[in-house]
């Protein structure tokens, strides 16, 4: 009779252990899948939870473009000249900006490419170069207002000469750009968001000292004009609302936001982007409205408020030196944040159109030098803001028209392409913006601006 060996006795035990291990592993995998499914269900039920919070940020960076020194000048001038008359223009402008910025974010999320990249893929070499040149001129014009605004703020706060103030703005904004890109992208976004909050406080502080009449503000929501000059001012506000570099950049920001990490689904990103854009542009719109209302309430009819420094001195005279200083701090934060974001946009435009990954400091120098030249030679640098606004107007159609076409393209967007109704609404908004910008340019060339 054959004896049972030790190996034979342990074989069933080994097989049983292996089977138990397999069952345990399968159970673990099943539990893992259940947890993932449960998390996804919870996210759908609670779209405002932590998963969505991680999506927020890109729109706040883009929103800085809407509260740059150029906007400060336009809003203060409008309120000082016409009181609450053009409140409705700002509300309309902000509504349009929400749509446009979301469309830019949507394009980037669905295609995983920026607007400059998509343009670069569809243009000839000569076309790409020409498009880049106009975009670069627009970037220089944009940075002109931002650096000049910062130099004015430093002059008001510390008495620094304008040229030296421009150098300081250039240096500090370059340091801020070190945090842009890669794992530190969220740090850059947080810096910009903090500055946006400083801007908000800086420009609305005066309203707490001298609260406006709510009834008068509400009357400003009724669309109307008061002479051809007010029409021109409305065209200026509306025409300069949409910043080309903010459109180009937002389609990049939604992808850079996840640098080195895992992206949520397209559906989740789009849902998060709607909330991101709504909150960011609501904040920017509130800041712009606060500036106009502040000027309408405290500076209406006063002379010398057509320049930023003149407006600051008038605010300090009427509301006190503390409010004047807070206003200057808000202006400084506006300059630093907007010029950093503008350089970021210029880098992406160069990369997308020319396929060149230039160092960020090189992009910073390209747009900073013209502003420093203006600060050195111009007797009144604030006059350059008017010229910069006109140049900026020329570049807006080059950004909004391709965006409108691409977001309606089923080839690019697939099932997320704009439907007929949304496309028609977007078409009306684009037509209005382009018409107003053409009007602004024509009136300026005729010497009526």
**Top-confidence residue, 373 or 227:** 373
Least confident of 16-20, 100-104, 188-192, 221-225: 16-20
**pLDDT above 70: residue 38:** no
pLDDT at 229: 79
What are the C-alpha distances in Å from 268 to residues 50, 51, 114, 280, 357?
12, 9, 19, 18, 30
Token reading at 425: 């609404």
Q: d(Cα 30, Cα 25) in Å, to the nearest integer?
A: 9
**pLDDT above 80: residue 248:** yes
**pLDDT above 90: residue 24:** no
State pLDDT tens for residues 40-76.
444 444 444 445 567 778 999 999 888 888 888 888 8
pLDDT at 386: 63
Q: Give the residue extent of every domain in the chain.
A: 74-445
- Percentage, residues of the chain above pLDDT 70: 84
**pLDDT above 90: residue 227:** no
pLDDT at 28: 54
pLDDT at 359: 85
Q: d(Cα 410, Cα 407) in Å, to the nearest integer?
A: 8
The CATH architecture one would assign to domain 74-445 is Up-down Bundle (1.20)
pLDDT band at residue 15 using 50, 70 and 90 as cut-offs: very low
State pLDDT tens for residues 149-197.
999 999 999 999 999 999 999 999 988 888 776 667 788 888 988 998 9
Contact 330, 198 (CB under 8 A): yes
The pTM score is 0.83
* Mean per-residue pLDDT, 397-417: 95
**pLDDT above 90: residue 87:** yes
**pLDDT above 80: residue 132:** yes
pLDDT band at residue 39 using 50, 70 and 90 as cut-offs: very low
**Top-confidence residue, 341 or 393:** 341
What are the C-alpha distances in Å from 432 to residues 40, 91, 269, 284, 420?
41, 15, 29, 21, 18
Helix (H) or strand (E) holding 237: helix 228-239
Q: Write the DSSP assignment of 168-209 as a string of letters.
A: HHHHHHHHHGGG-SGGGHHHHHHHHHHHHHHHHHHHHHHHHH
* Mean per-residue pLDDT, 274-302: 92
């Amino acid at each position: 009779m054959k004896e049972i060996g030790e190996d034979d006795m342990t074989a069933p035990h080994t097989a049983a252990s292996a089977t138990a291990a397999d069952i345990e592993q399968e159970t673990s995998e099943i539990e893992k899948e259940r947890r993932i499914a449960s998390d996804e269900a919870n996210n759908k039920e609670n779209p405002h939870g932590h998963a969505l919070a991680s999506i927020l940020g890109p729109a706040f960076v883009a929103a800085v473009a809407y509260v740059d020194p150029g906007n400060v000048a336009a809003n203060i001038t409008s309120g000082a000249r016409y009181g609450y008359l053009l409140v409705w223009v700002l509300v309309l402008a902000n509504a349009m900006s929400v749509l446009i910025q979301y469309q830019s974010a949507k394009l980037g999320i669905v295609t995983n490419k920026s607007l400059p990249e998509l343009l670069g893929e569809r243009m000839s070499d000569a076309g790409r170069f020409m498009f880049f040149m106009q975009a670069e001129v627009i970037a220089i014009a944009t940075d002109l207002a931002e650096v000049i605004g910062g130099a004015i703020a430093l002059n008001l706060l510390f008495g620094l000469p304008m040229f030296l103030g421009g150098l300081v703005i250039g240096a500090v904004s370059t340091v801020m750009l070190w945090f842009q890109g890669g794992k530190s992208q969220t740090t850059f976004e947080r810096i910009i968001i903090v500055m946006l909050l400083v801007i908000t406080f800086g420009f609305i502080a005066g309203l707490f000292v001298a609260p406006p009449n709510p009834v008068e503000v509400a009357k400003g929501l009724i669309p109307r004009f008061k002479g051809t000059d007010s029409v021109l001012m409305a065209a200026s506000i509306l025409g300069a609302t949409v910043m080309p570099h903010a459109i180009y950049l937002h389609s990049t920001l939604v992808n850079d936001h996840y640098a080195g990490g895992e992206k949520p689904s397209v559906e989740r990103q789009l849902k998060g982007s709607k909330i991101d854009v709504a909150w960011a542009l609501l904040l920017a719109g509130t800041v712009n409205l606060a500036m106009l209302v502040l000027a309408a309430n405290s500076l209406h009819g006063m002379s010398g408020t057509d320049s930023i420094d003149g407006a600051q001195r008038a605010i300090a005279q009427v509301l006190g030196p503390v409010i004047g200083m807070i206003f200057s701090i808000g202006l400084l934060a506006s300059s630093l944040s907007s010029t950093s974001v503008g350089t970021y946009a210029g880098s992406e435009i160069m990369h997308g159109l020319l396929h060149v990954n230039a160092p960020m400091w090189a992009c910073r120098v390209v747009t900073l030098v013209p502003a420093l030249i203006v600060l050195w030679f111009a007797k009144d640098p604030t006059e350059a803001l008017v010229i910069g606004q006109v140049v900026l107007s020329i570049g807006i159609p080059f950004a909004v028209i391709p965006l409108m076409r691409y977001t309606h393209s089923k080839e690019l967007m697939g099932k997320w392409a704009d439907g007929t109704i949304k496309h028609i609404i977007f078409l009306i908004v684009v037509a209005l913006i382009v018409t107003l910008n053409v009007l602004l340019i024509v009136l300026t060339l005729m010497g009526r601006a």
